[in-house]
Amino acid sequence: MVVDKQSRNNQQANSADSAKPREKLNVAILVVSQMLFMVATITVMTLSGVVGQQLSPNPAYATLPIAIMMIGTVTSTLPASLFMKRVGRRMGFILGAGLGGVGGGLVSLGGIAAGSFWLFCAGNLLIGLYQGFAMYYRFAAVDVASPGFRSKAISLVMAGGVVAAFLGPWNASATLDWVPGVPSGGPYLIIALLALFAIGLLSQLKVPASGEPQPGEVTRPMASIARQPRFRVAVIAGAIGYGVMVLVMTATPLAMRGQGFEMSQVVFIMQWHVLGMYAPSFFTGSLISRFGVERILTAGVVILLGTVLFSNLGTSMAHFWVALVLLGIGWNFLFIGGSALLAATHSEAERGKVQGVNDLIIFSLVAVGSLMSGQLLHHLGWETLNLAMLLPILIIAIALIGWQQNNHQKASAST
């Protein structure tokens, strides 16, 4: 009996060892796929406002293609999750990359070639669908990794954003003339080609089917979960922080071009902004563990206030650089801090619906922010647009203060 038990243990150990190469390969596929998808979205954020301004009959509609991309993400996020529960992650990811990435890149290219603003918007809508599916790469990294490797797997997937911080803006500037006779068409052709490459990678992905909550597991109504003060703070911090970031980020290329900056200088600023968004991810979790989520969220609010300050001190290259780096770091603290707080509001069985509602609210505000960006910049100008962000930032601060006071009252009542 002892021999049989030892034999079983040896078999399990051998099985675990043999699974490691597959595990690492799965994570590597997701890391590269994340990078390729983010090149597409960063290209859109950097270039589509400029192209939209050229194609649009009204300058106020310049950032509409970016807003429509976000609408594509909002409308596809929940259906993507439900679809992948039926057919699996791999088929869902391939569909997203094919229809959204390849299709979106080619339709956008066709819109530029035809001089059609609305066809260009349709292509950006499809790229939003690509993002709606690709958002789940980070969850798939957890699915394919063993417990001891999961945190590192997530960090590696986040590292794809750091690489894309260089490749996305580079694609938005260096490949502009790669399609003869179609100025600014090259970056969208590259989006389609990279998505095609991603499909080849994703076809080799092996992800265990994610299970539904088991019979007997009790889940609360969403309304009951939403009544928790920390749930409201998590959603407000994540959604408003993301909305403010996208609104200012979307307006930046247009504002800089309006100030006479070259596209290469816009690319430089956008690269540093995206680095500000993703590079802190490697230590934000440790900061939350050390100082607590309340302080990290508060720091995110203060950093966003710094963005407003530097945006109104001047419009030199240095002012844009400091403001956009701060904008990225502030978003990182609010988004990751909000996500960490959200995880404390639900059980494992409730995770799917709570995360789905959270993401739906976030990307709805992101869509609104990107839609308003061109209008606000056109009518208010760069400095006043940033001043207008003080109101939503104040809403986050008020929610944080209310939650902190509620925690103090509970602590006082228990002592």
Question: CATH code at 360?
Answer: 1.20.1250.20
Whether the Cβ atoms of residue 230 and residue 341 lie closer than 8 Å to each other: yes
Tokens encoding 1: 């009996």
**Is the same domain home to 172 and 113?**
yes
**Is the same domain home to 105 and 197?**
yes
Give the pLDDT score at 15.
41
Residues 240 and 409: their CA atoms lie apart, in Å, by 26
In a domain? residue 254: yes
Give the pLDDT score at 413.
73
pTM: 0.77
Helices (H), 314-389: 317-343, 351-380, 382-388
- Pick from 232, 274, 270, 225: which is nearest to 251 by CA? 270
- Pick from 220, 290, 256, 246: which is nearest to 382 by CA? 256
Q: What are phi and psi of 135, to 5 degrees?
A: -55, -25
79 contact partners, CB below 8 Å, separation of at least 6: 132
Residues 359 and 171: their CA atoms lie apart, in Å, by 28
Q: Is the dihedral of CA 396, 278, 336, 81 positive or negative?
A: positive
What is the domain count for the chain?
2
Give the pLDDT score at 272.
92
In a domain? residue 20: no
In a domain? residue 16: no
User: 154-167 b/e with 16+ CB inside 10 Å = b?
Assistant: bebbbbbbbbbbeb
| Final residue in a domain of this structure, among 141, 172, 207 | 207
In Å, what is the CA distance from 364 to each residue of 76, 160, 357, 389?
12, 24, 11, 17
In a domain? residue 395: yes
**Is the same domain home to 202 and 243?**
no
Residues 61 and 47: their CA atoms lie apart, in Å, by 14
Residues 380 and 326: their CA atoms lie apart, in Å, by 22
- Pick from 109, 138, 143: which is nearest to 40 by CA? 109
In a domain? residue 10: no
**Is the same domain home to 198 and 330?**
no
**Mind giving me the DSSP string for 162-224?**
HHHHHHHHHHHHHTTTSSTT-TT-HHHHHHHHHHHHHHHHHTT---PPPPPPPTT-----HHH
How would you write the pLDDT of the chain (415 residues) with one tens digit per residue?
A: 444 445 444 444 444 444 477 888 998 999 999 999 999 999 998 899 889 989 988 877 888 898 899 889 988 888 887 788 788 889 999 999 999 999 999 999 999 999 999 999 999 999 999 999 998 887 787 777 777 666 567 667 777 788 888 898 889 888 999 999 998 999 999 999 999 999 999 999 987 654 444 455 667 888 888 888 899 999 999 999 999 999 999 899 889 999 999 988 988 998 899 899 988 877 887 788 889 889 999 999 999 999 999 999 999 999 999 999 999 999 999 988 888 788 788 776 776 678 778 888 888 888 888 878 888 998 899 999 999 999 999 999 999 999 988 887 777 776 6
Helices (H), 115-149: 117-134, 137-144
Residues 167 and 260: their CA atoms lie apart, in Å, by 24
In Å, what is the CA distance from 287 to each residue of 11, 148, 292?
40, 20, 7
Residues 237 and 402: their CA atoms lie apart, in Å, by 13
**Is the same domain home to 235 and 114?**
no
**Is the same domain home to 187 and 234?**
no
Residues 311 and 276: their CA atoms lie apart, in Å, by 16
Give the pLDDT score at 169.
84
Residues 11 and 5: their CA atoms lie apart, in Å, by 10
In a domain? residue 216: no
Give the pLDDT score at 328.
95
| Final residue in a domain of this structure, among 158, 178, 207 | 207
Residues 337 and 285: their CA atoms lie apart, in Å, by 8
- Pick from 273, 370, 271: which is nearest to 328 by CA? 273
Radius of gyration of the chain, Cα coordinates, nearest whole angstrom: 22
**Is the same domain home to 162 and 55?**
yes
Give the pLDDT score at 282.
78
**Is the same domain home to 249 and 173?**
no
Give the pLDDT score at 136.
81
**Is the same domain home to 353 and 399?**
yes
- Pick from 235, 240, 220: which is nearest to 355 by CA? 235
| Final residue in a domain of this structure, among 174, 207, 240 | 207
In a domain? residue 172: yes
- Structural domain of residue 246, as residue ranges? 226-408
In a domain? residue 214: no
- Pick from 218, 221, 244: which is nearest to 231 by CA? 221
- Pick from 213, 77, 95, 219: which is nearest to 139 by CA? 77
**Is the same domain home to 81 and 170?**
yes
**Is the same domain home to 277 and 399?**
yes
**Is the same domain home to 263 and 184?**
no
138 in helix, strand or coil? helix
